[in-house]
Chains A and B, each alone.
Chain A
Amino acid sequence: MVPPVQVSPLIKLGRYSALFLGMAYGAKRYSFLKPRAEEERRLAAEAKKKPDEQKRIERELAEAQEDTILK
């Protein structure tokens, strides 16, 4: 087998510092994006409420007005 190559310390330092920097960046960005996404979901749910209410009213009106004997 080929003997393992000796990696220069600069590369080792660079690798592991990039790894930890990446972990910190990922964790920070996640905690930054999470409340924003929840807020957006909340707003979307609220914006959906009114059209849903309208649809419900229209549906009940239509049901009340149709004249079939199969009720």
Chain B
Amino acid sequence: MAQFVRNLAEKAPALVNAAVTYSKPRLATFWYYAKVELVPPTPAEIPTAIQSLKKIINSAKTGSFKQLTVKEALLNGLVATKVWMWFYVGEIIGKRGIIGYDV
């Protein structure tokens, strides 16, 4: 046991270094995409968003959503599901636990 702990303490810096070298380029790629795709909407974009929302409500009212192809409808459904999943991520953050409420 003591031998194991000593081995670990000797090899730990090398392991940490290896982990950092492995993750640096991947983090860089992630950051490169996240900077454009995951940023919150700037206040200037909100009117555009409200316009798109109005268009969607309009298409629901006039029934023009039936003109969508099935492929488009499926893609829209997938995007909507992805947006809704952020709600559950927020709930996990709010309840401070991954599975279940830790009361």
Contact = CB atoms under 8 A, between A and B. Distances in A.
Interface of A: 1, 4-16, 18-30, 33-34, 36-38
Interface of B: 29, 32-33, 35-37, 39-41, 45-46, 48-49, 52-53, 56, 79, 83-84, 86-96, 101, 103
B52 A18 contact: no
A38 to B, nearest CB: 8
Contacts, number: 99
Chain B contact residues, majority secondary structure? helix
Chain A contact residues, majority secondary structure? helix
B102 to A, nearest CB: 8
Counting from the closest, the 7 A-B pairs by CB-CB distance are A22-B90, A26-B94, A37-B103, A9-B45, A4-B36, A26-B91, A26-B95
Given A4-B35, A25-B90, 15 more contacts: A1-B29, A4-B33, A4-B36, A11-B79, A18-B86, A18-B87, A22-B86, A22-B93, A24-B90, A25-B87, A26-B92, A30-B96, A30-B101, A30-B103, A33-B101
